[in-house]
Amino acid sequence: MGNLLKVLTREIENYPHFFLDFENAQPTEGEREVWNQVNSVLQDSESILSGLQAYKGAGQEIRDAIQNPNDLMQQERAWNSVCPLVIKLKKFYSFSLRLEEALKSLLESLTCPPFTPTQHLEREQALAKQFAEILHFTLRFDELKMRIPAIQNDFSYYRRTISRNRINNMNLDIENEVNNEMANRMSLFYAEATPMLKTLSNATTNFVTENKTLPLENTTDCLSTMASVCKVMLETPEYSSRFSSEDTLLFCMRVMVGVIILYDHVHPNGAFNKSSKIDMKGCIKVLKDQPADNVEGLLNALKFTTKHLNDESTPKNIRTMLQ
């Protein structure tokens, strides 16, 4: 086949059709510098997910401390349980900042003139794959975080205790790690239902704002083209059958949903209206054709983390499909 990314010969509904080899794309010499930079971030992503998955929280210790305010041993036990968790939460937050920088580097490479998004994807498949991997990680992180209410409870207890001790002029070593400014930023991050997705949305919006000479379409077309790539690979058996692992199908679904959400946040009219370059009806249908267990979280992400779904301009049939 030659190219890892192949433009299909058939044109349906004027949406671009591609096959992108998410499993095997390797960087060319021209991609190497950016690829290495992004790879140094992505190689830590699995340990971040493992750390989040193993997060147990200090709920019992905190309850005991609150119920026994004069029992110093209980207070100390709760504090000693919460501090290592806060260090862990700082690590996750710091990773989101690194991910933000990695995304900006990829957007610069995949949107710069004189090439179109299609040409960029043909020339820089390994960077497109990394972009997909960032989105895949982001949705996995946020799916896990939504199931761990302990995170916000632990962090709230930490902040209350720090404030109380500051009033009592107590100096705590952990403030060298998580000072007040850091705690404020972390608090905003974890208050979001989907903090990593919010980070990427803000990063993409900022990228567009900061690069005033770059047409908005360069960025939104990159996102809509990626959505089409994933949709076609999922709905076309001759292409989806090329994947050596079923996990790649779930990877494709997550990436498709991730780029739709980014597009919806960055494009002034969003992803759902009739002028959108994303075939939303087709994308939702592809998801609904999958086993419900695989896609429930993704359909919820489209419902609850997009910006324009409930706009008047969103066709009624699209809203009905997502109910």
Question: In the Cβ-directed half-sphere of 164, how many Cα atoms lie within 13 Å?
Answer: 9
Same domain, 42 and 128: yes
Same domain, 254 and 130: no
Same domain, 224 and 150: no
Residue where one domain finishes, among candidates 144, 177, 192: 192
Q: Rounded to whole angstroms, how far apart are CA atoms 278 and 16?
A: 10
Residue where one domain finishes, among candidates 192, 207, 229: 192
What pLDDT is stored for residue 237 in this prediction? 82
φ, ψ of residue 17 in degrees (nearest 5): -125, 125
Domain presence at residue 6: no
User: 131 lies in which domain range?
Assistant: 19-192
Helix (H) or strand (E) holding 27: none
The pTM of the full predicted model, rounded to 2 decimals, is: 0.87
User: Contact 100/203 with Cβ under 8 angstroms?
Assistant: yes
The predicted-structure confidence for 196-243, as pLDDT tens digits, reads as follows 999 999 999 999 899 888 888 889 999 999 998 899 888 888 778 788
Tokens, residue 317: 């049939």
The predicted-structure confidence for 104-120, as pLDDT tens digits, reads as follows 999 999 998 888 888 88
Q: Please give the single-letter amino acid code of residue 106.
A: L
pLDDT band with cut points at 50, 70 and 90 for residue 18: low
Q: How many whole angstroms from its chain centre is CA 267? A: 17
Q: Rounded to whole angstroms, how far apart are CA atoms 15 and 221?
A: 11
Same domain, 285 and 163: no
What pLDDT is stored for residue 174 in this prediction? 78
Same domain, 184 and 229: no
User: Contact 313/269 with Cβ under 8 angstroms?
Assistant: yes
Residue 276: closest CA among 298, 288, 290, 259: 259
Domain presence at residue 249: yes
User: Contact 105/38 with Cβ under 8 angstroms?
Assistant: yes
Which residues, in sequence order, are CB contacts of 126 under 8 Å at separation 6+? 25, 26, 27, 28, 31, 35
Q: What total of structural domains would you count in the chain?
A: 2
Helices (H) and strands (E) counted in the chain, each on its own, are 16, 2
What pLDDT is stored for residue 168 in this prediction? 55
User: Contact 4/242 with Cβ under 8 angstroms?
Assistant: no
What pLDDT is stored for residue 283 in this prediction? 94
Same domain, 185 and 232: no
User: Contact 82/158 with Cβ under 8 angstroms?
Assistant: yes
Q: Is the pLDDT of residue 307 over 70?
A: yes
Same domain, 175 and 255: no
Domain presence at residue 204: no
Same domain, 249 and 184: no
What's 19's DSSP letter?
A: E
Question: Span 30-58, mean pLDDT?
Answer: 95
What pLDDT is stored for residue 3 in this prediction? 42
Same domain, 151 and 87: yes
Residue where one domain finishes, among candidates 148, 177, 192: 192
Cα dihedral sign, 125-126-132-134: negative
Task: Looking at 113-272, list the stretches that DSSP marks H as alpha helix, in order from N- to C-terminal side.
Answer: 117-123, 125-146, 150-167, 174-177, 180-191, 195-210, 216-235, 237-240, 247-266
Question: Span 290-315, mean pLDDT?
Answer: 89
φ, ψ of residue 6 in degrees (nearest 5): -120, 125
Q: How many whole angstroms from its chain centre is CA 204? A: 11
Weakest-pLDDT range from 35-49, 155-169, 271-285? 155-169
Same domain, 223 and 295: yes
**How much of the chain, in percent, has pLDDT values that exceed 90?**
54
Same domain, 110 and 258: no
How far apart are the two ends of the chain, measured CA to CA in Å? 41
